[in-house]
Homo-oligomer: A and B are copies of this chain.
Amino acid sequence: MARRSLLRERCSASTAQGGPVDAVLVTRPANVRYLTGRPAPGSALLLGPDGTDTLVAPATDGPYSGGGHAVDELRTCQLAGEEGDTAVAAAQLAVSAGADSLAVEEHDLTVARHRAIAADRPGLRLTGLACAVEQQRVVKDDEELSALRIAAEITDQALGELLESILVGRTERHLALELERRLIDHGAEGPAFATTVGTGQNSGLARHVPTDRRVEEGDFLSVRLGARYRGYRCQIGRTFVIGTAPDDWQIELYDLVFAAQRAGREALLPGISCRDVDRATRQVLDAAGYAEALGTSTGHGVGLEIGEDPRLSPAAMGKLDACVPVTVEPGVHLPGRGGVRIDDTLVVRPAADGGPELLTITTKELLAL
């Protein structure tokens, strides 16, 4: 598989952490999935010194029927005993195949598992792989972008249907459930993250847990949802007004957040630094006196995880490349009154190709529902 070959090349070229590496052990679930193309909970992937790749799966507690598909040139083996650790077994394989050193994911492997490997194979030198796989995951290939596009399409469909239904009198909790059901009806594997619905004074909160508060005339209603498709997750956030005539403060606040979000979206071009995108979004709200309203970031990468690299924040390092999908998601919440959030998922593209590709296409007009 091309992704594993690329990782091998990068690791053998790198001498950063104590010389070139014989073998690589990948244990972080999203990284294993990325490198094998299949969900493999609890499994460890070994890129062996002999050029062989092996996926070591845990013992199951009974007959199993998985959802994965066979992948070229990947050996798989399954542990028999209940007590076995997949990482220890993979390290044993590495040594049998002639490895003197093994690069492990120190940000995933626990102290206990690391120690178990060292105790089991004392001659094996353990080094750090750092976030090599996460870095490789930042720029998406066509297969990944196509899964994200489908995830966004499903998300737009689920949201669109909700907007056509009667909302007044229904609770945040029921609306969130209905959105998640509609995601699945349209082909999602599940929600990409816990769906948020906030109405009235709960609107505009970043991480609101839906309550039994009912939607009322005059409320702001903010929703945030996303589909998971073939493991890939997208995110949309929208805010609406309930009833026919939004108040002046609602129009004003909406326009402000919309302007901030547009500034962020328009900044998304290959080569821009992540912190400059964040600044573009943030300064619109800062200038209007809402500097405190924003959290630590105004967007993030999406893919096999909902919050992956890069982060769009004042402290972020690095620049954006083409084919990197990110969210732009500013919001302002006024305690006791409510607020506005607008989130989109976009793919960075050069201006010559038309600039950023908007995946979540539901309208950002201030709809009165």
| Contacts from A to B (Cβ < 8 Å) | 59-67, 81-83, 104, 106-115, 128, 177, 181, 184, 198, 202, 204-209, 293-297, 300, 311, 313, 315, 331, 333, 339, 341
Neighbour of A110 across the interface among B66, B110, B177, B297, CB < 8 A: B110
A315–B205 contact, CB under 8 A? no
Chain B's nearest CB lies how many Å from the CB of A196? 10
A60–B295 contact, CB under 8 A? yes
| 10 smallest beta-carbon distances between A and B, as pairs | A62-B206, A62-B295, A106-B111, A61-B295, A82-B296, A107-B112, A67-B209, A63-B333, A106-B112, A65-B208
B107–A107 contact, CB under 8 A? no
Identical subunits present = 2
A63–B205 contact, CB under 8 A? yes
Neighbour of A313 across the interface among B82, B128, B198, B294, CB < 8 A: B82
B207–A60 contact, CB under 8 A? yes
| Bound Cα distance A315, B295 (Å) | 49
Which residue of chain B has its CB nearest to the CB of A204?
B63
Chain B's nearest CB lies how many Å from the CB of A253? 14
Which residue of chain B has its CB nearest to the CB of A58?
B296
List B contacts of A313 (CB < 8 A). Answer: 82
Chain B's nearest CB lies how many Å from the CB of A220? 14
List 21 A–B pairs whose Cβ atoms lie within 8 Å, in order of A's numbering: A60-B296, A61-B296, A61-B297, A61-B300, A62-B206, A62-B341, A63-B206, A63-B295, A63-B331, A64-B205, A64-B206, A65-B205, A65-B207, A67-B209, A81-B296, A82-B296, A82-B313, A106-B110, A107-B112, A110-B110, A111-B111
Neighbour of A62 across the interface among B61, B63, B184, B294, CB < 8 A: B294
Chain B's nearest CB lies how many Å from the CB of A317? 10
Chain B's nearest CB lies how many Å from the CB of A15? 20
| Bound Cα distance A67, B297 (Å) | 22
Which residue of chain B has its CB nearest to the CB of A296?
B82
List B contacts of A115 (CB < 8 A). Answer: 106
